């Protein structure tokens, strides 16, 4: 094994500069309950961009360094510096998940059992050549599953499954999903079809409607349409959906969803109430695609909740037994239900080329990057 | 017993008119598990105004009829008619609570046990002379408690107690309350002092600050102050408050509260996270003093909830045992912790005089009406 261990790090300096670069962090000896994974594939998810770019203004991004050792710098607007003060001066590792081969293992039986195996891993900065990780952060992939196939085993699969399990745990029977043409949305669509759960997909473009319908989606509504609210209400009446998951946040989509749910619920009311319907309506906001204010036009009574939704918090609420079953399902269906598709495969160095950075932001329209640190 | 039973009703007609008037509904024979209460005192709460005025534009209110039988009419803006279509043409009884003497009882032992007793009652339209109510809607007052003292035994006392019990049930240890100088707010202040729970009172006027401090409140912050956010954050740091109750809704107070909670929570973070702090932050919105949009400027991470809060739903979540203990506490402390103060006492007819209507809206600044239907 080499001693070299290149990783991608993002650093904000005191003089309002973001720098993204590669650095050699050297190899680490695994502790008793740790393994060293040779990372062979790691996806670039929106949540990774948030760590990599932080609050920098990426329209100011410049590339320097060399072809094999590029350096990206960008300006951080001074007003945002206080929000990231805990990051200043610290090289922050990037990469929430990935997969590869276990090349060294600690002394514990659980660690030893993974030696030579292909595993997926969560956390720790996976955009590097060798990652030292705790055994419980690893998921052993089935025989025959490649690192590339297993690279996205955590973030999207578990989030999509957590949505369905949260729906069940909280007594709802159908789901509304916004920005539904995403990788995550397509997974959720496959889970719901397999499990017989009605899913209302909200998209904003005609081609996304077509994409989802071609994937078997029964309910697809377009938020850009003049008839959006009527269409959504009709779909809610047909499905009985009272829980929604929205990665957008800013704007009034959350409000629209709650109001359409209330219109649907009010149809069953025998008499008027100033408090609105008794039907509990829930929207979980799991992203910040729109960082602007969330505006709630409250015509939806008093039986409602709007909550942030974060995978790890959701898993904590669902409990160990459910989470173990979810992990097993991901492993067993990683090439079907939970298959991810990548439009670009790049090395660590190529990930830092300006043209790559410029297209990351297009992920929502179908661009998806896979980083292969061994190239 | 007379056969006459005057009650106050609110009706919206198909031609966009709201009419509030008195009508004789006659006496009702109680069923087995029912009692007839001679209503002697019934408070006018903001939630009663919502039923009485509905969506009418009360600036158009006119009085007709006679001194003893006044009729109020007002215009309903056409755009609101669809929201109240289930009310159209139906005389809607008004009055959520009140107290009086049981003058007739059904055959069940529980009903018979209340015969002659002074009881408080919830629901059914208490702005009338005689109300036929189910036994479980009644709360027998202690010997010596008058109907006037017990008139407000449900809405404010149980809501204030439900806030404290919800805080406990959901694992928080201190409370933020907005519009805290209200009758409800003063009760909550007394409960928190008695129970040793830290309470941060948000008010918007200097005299409300003084009022609450004179009542022993330790934490009072003024949302009109230039230093409001700093003051609130400081109070949150001192108390550890992570749950808030807000009757306003519209505007950005909810957002401010969540952001101040997050600033306080972030002080304990060891490293930066794009997801914000792990500290779960909850705001319950229990009214609509501002019917405008709720605007959330989301700098408070992903561990948060904003929910509607309605007494009956909250009691359902708290469970029978807790609710029974709450009811007993209200009965025992109705003249101390849960004492209400009224600035006006009016008959049913006087309640419908224009000058009364005009001052109802001032309740938040300390005006509070008691209706005494037997005058």
How would DSSP label each residue in A184-242?
HHHHHHHHHHHHT-EEEEEESSHHHHHHHHHTT-SEEEETTSTTHHHHHHHHHHHH---
List chain B residues with CB under 8 Å of A93.
Answer: none
Find which of A246, A307, A315, A317 to mutate to test the B interface (most B CBs within 10 Å of its CB).
A307
Distance from B127 to chain A by nearest Cα, in Å?
17
Q: CB–CB of A51 and B288 under 8 A?
A: no
Q: Between residues 278 and 337 of chain B, which touch chain A (CB distance below 8 Å)?
A: 278, 280, 285-286, 288, 291, 293-299, 301-310, 313
Q: CB–CB of A293 and B255 under 8 A?
A: yes
Q: Which of B272, B293, B313 sits opposite A296 (nearest CB)?
A: B293
Please give the radius of gyration of chain B, using alpha carbons only, rounded to the nearest integer.
22
Question: What is the chain A residue with the closest CA to B300?
Answer: A308
Output phi, psi for B342, to 5 deg.
-115, 135
* Amino acid A368: pLDDT: 87
Rounded to an integer, the average pLDDT of B369-375 is 94
- In order along its 375 residues, chain A shows pLDDT tens digits of 567 899 999 999 999 999 999 999 999 899 999 999 999 999 998 889 989 999 999 999 999 999 899 999 999 999 999 888 889 999 999 999 999 999 999 999 999 999 999 999 998 899 999 999 999 999 999 999 999 999 999 999 999 999 999 999 999 999 999 999 988 999 999 999 999 999 999 999 999 999 999 999 999 999 999 999 999 999 999 999 999 999 999 999 999 999 999 999 998 888 888 889 999 999 999 999 898 999 999 999 999 999 999 999 999 999 999 999 999 999 999 999 999 999 999 999 999 998 888 887 665 556 889 999 998
Distance from A279 to chain B by nearest Cα, in Å?
11
Other beta carbons within 10 Å of B37: 32
Distance from A302 to chain B by nearest Cα, in Å?
4
The DSSP 8-state label assigned to residue A88 in this structure reads B
Q: Between residues 75 and 114 of chain A, which touch chain B (CB distance below 8 Å)?
A: 83-87, 90, 92
Q: Residue B362 pLDDT more than 70?
A: no
Query: Rounded to an integer, what distance in angstroms lies between the CA atom of residue A125 and that of residue A42?
Result: 10
Distance from B86 to chain A by nearest Cα, in Å?
5
Q: What is the DSSP string of A23-66?
A: EE-------TTEEEEEEEEEE--HHHHHHHHTT-EEEEEEEEE-
Distance from A132 to chain B by nearest Cα, in Å?
20
Distance from B306 to chain A by nearest Cα, in Å?
5
Find which of A80, A293, A295, A297 to mutate to test the B interface (most B CBs within 10 Å of its CB).
A293
Rounded to an integer, the average pLDDT of B101-125 is 97
Q: CB–CB of A302 and B295 under 8 A?
A: no
Query: Rounded to an integer, what distance in angstroms lies between the CA atom of residue B41 and that of residue B52?
Result: 17
* Amino acid A355: pLDDT: 85
CA nearest A162: which of A316, A368, A48? A316
Q: CB–CB of A298 and B304 under 8 A?
A: no
* Amino acid A107: pLDDT: 97
Query: Rounded to an integer, what distance in angstroms lies between the CA atom of residue B72 and that of residue B61?
Result: 6
Query: Rounded to an integer, what distance in angstroms lies between the CA atom of residue B331 and that of residue B139?
Result: 8
Q: CB–CB of A293 and B288 under 8 A?
A: no
List chain B residues with CB under 8 Å of A269.
Answer: 86
Query: Rounded to an integer, what distance in angstroms lies between the CA atom of residue B228 and that of residue B257?
Result: 10
* Amino acid B47: pLDDT: 85
List chain A residues with CB under 8 Å of B280.
Answer: 313
* Amino acid B3: pLDDT: 77
Q: Residue B85 pLDDT more than 90?
A: no
List chain B residues with CB under 8 Å of A285.
Answer: 302
Rounded to an integer, the average pLDDT of B355-361 is 79
**How many CB pairs (< 8 A) connect A and B?**
98
Q: Between residues 7 and 26 of chain A, which touch chain B (CB distance below 8 Å)?
A: none
Rounded to an integer, the average pLDDT of B102-107 is 97
Query: Rounded to an integer, what distance in angstroms lies between the CA atom of residue A201 and that of residue A181?
Result: 8
Q: Which pLDDT tens digit goes with each residue over B50-59? A: 899 999 999 9
Which tokens hold the place of B363? 């309740």
* B115 part of contact set with chain A, CB < 8 Å: no
* Amino acid A100: pLDDT: 98
Q: CB–CB of A272 and B307 under 8 A?
A: no
Find which of B51, B269, B274, B280 to mutate to test the A interface (most A CBs within 10 Å of its CB).
B274
Please tell me whether residue B287 adopts helix, strand or coil conformation: coil
B20, B352 contact by CB (below 8 A)? yes
List chain B residues with CB under 8 Å of A295.
Answer: 293-296
Q: Which of A274, A291, A307 sits opposite B50 (nearest CB)?
A: A274
Q: CB–CB of B307 and A308 under 8 A?
A: no
Distance from A214 to chain B by nearest Cα, in Å?
33
Other beta carbons within 10 Å of A63: 14
Q: Which pLDDT tens digit goes with each residue over B298-309? A: 999 999 999 999
Q: Which pLDDT tens digit goes with each residue over A2-36? A: 678 999 999 999 999 999 999 999 998 999 999 99
Distance from A259 to chain B by nearest Cα, in Å?
12
Q: CB–CB of A306 and B308 under 8 A?
A: no
CA nearest B100: which of B147, B62, B58, B144? B147
pTM of the predicted model as reported, rounded to 2 decimal places: 0.91
Q: CB–CB of B305 and A307 under 8 A?
A: yes
The DSSP 8-state label assigned to residue B128 in this structure reads B
Nearest 5°: the CA angle B368, B369, B374 is 155
* Amino acid A361: pLDDT: 63
Q: CB–CB of A293 and B297 under 8 A?
A: yes
What is the complex's ipTM, to 2 decimals? 0.89
Q: CB–CB of A272 and B313 under 8 A?
A: no
Question: What is the chain B residue with the closest CA to A276?
Answer: B83
Q: Residue B361 pLDDT more than 80?
A: no
Q: CB–CB of A302 and B310 under 8 A?
A: yes
List chain A residues with CB under 8 Å of B272.
Answer: 84-87, 90, 92
* A54 part of contact set with chain B, CB < 8 Å: yes
Q: Between residues 188 and 247 of chain A, which touch chain B (CB distance below 8 Å)?
A: none
Rounded to an integer, the average pLDDT of B277-294 is 95
């Amino acid at each position: 094994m080499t001693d070299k261990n290149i990783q991608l790090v993002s650093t904000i300096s005191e003089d309002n500069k973001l720098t993204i670069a590669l650095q050699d962090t050297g190899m680490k000896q695994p502790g008793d309950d740790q393994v060293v994974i040779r990372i062979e594939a790691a996806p670039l998810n929106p949540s990774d961009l948030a760590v990599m770019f932080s609050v920098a203004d990426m329209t100011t991004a410049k590339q320097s360094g060399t072809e094999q050792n590029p350096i990206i710098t960008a300006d951080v607007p001074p007003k945002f510096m206080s929000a990231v003060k805990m990051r200043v001066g610290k090289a922050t590792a990037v990469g929430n998940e990935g997969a590869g081969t276990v090349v060294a293992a600690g002394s514990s039986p659980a660690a030893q059992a993974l030696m030579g195996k292909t595993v997926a891993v969560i956390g720790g900065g996976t955009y590097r050549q060798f990652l030292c990780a705790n055994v419980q952060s690893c998921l052993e992939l089935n025989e025959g599953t490649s690192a590339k196939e297993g690279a996205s085993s955590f973030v999207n699969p578990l989030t999509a499954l957590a949505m369905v399990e949260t729906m069940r745990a909280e007594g709802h029977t159908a789901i509304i999903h916004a920005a539904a043409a995403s990788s995550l949305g397509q997974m959720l669509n496959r889970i719901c079809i397999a499990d017989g759960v009605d899913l209302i997909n909200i998209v904003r473009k005609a081609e996304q409607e077509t994409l989802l319908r071609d994937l078997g989606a029964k309910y697809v509504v377009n938020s850009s349409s003049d008839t959006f609210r009527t269409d959504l209400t009709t779909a809610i009446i047909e499905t009985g959906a009272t829980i929604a998951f929205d990665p957008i946040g800013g704007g009034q989509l959350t409000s629209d969803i709650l109001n359409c749910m209330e219109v649907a619920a009010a149809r069953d009311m025998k008499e008027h109430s100033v408090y609105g319907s008794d039907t509990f309506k829930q929207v979980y906001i799991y992203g910040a695609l729109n960082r602007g204010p969330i505006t709630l036009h409250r015509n939806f009574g008093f039986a409602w909740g709007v909550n942030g939704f974060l995978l790890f918090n959701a898993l904590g609420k669902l409990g160990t037994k459910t989470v173990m079953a979810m992990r097993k399902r991901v492993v067993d269906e990683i090439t079907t239900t939970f298959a991810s598709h990548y439009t670009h495969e790049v090395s660590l160095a190529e990930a830092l080329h300006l043209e790559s950075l410029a297209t990351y932001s297009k992920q929502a329209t179908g661009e998806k990057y896979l980083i292969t640190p061994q190239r």
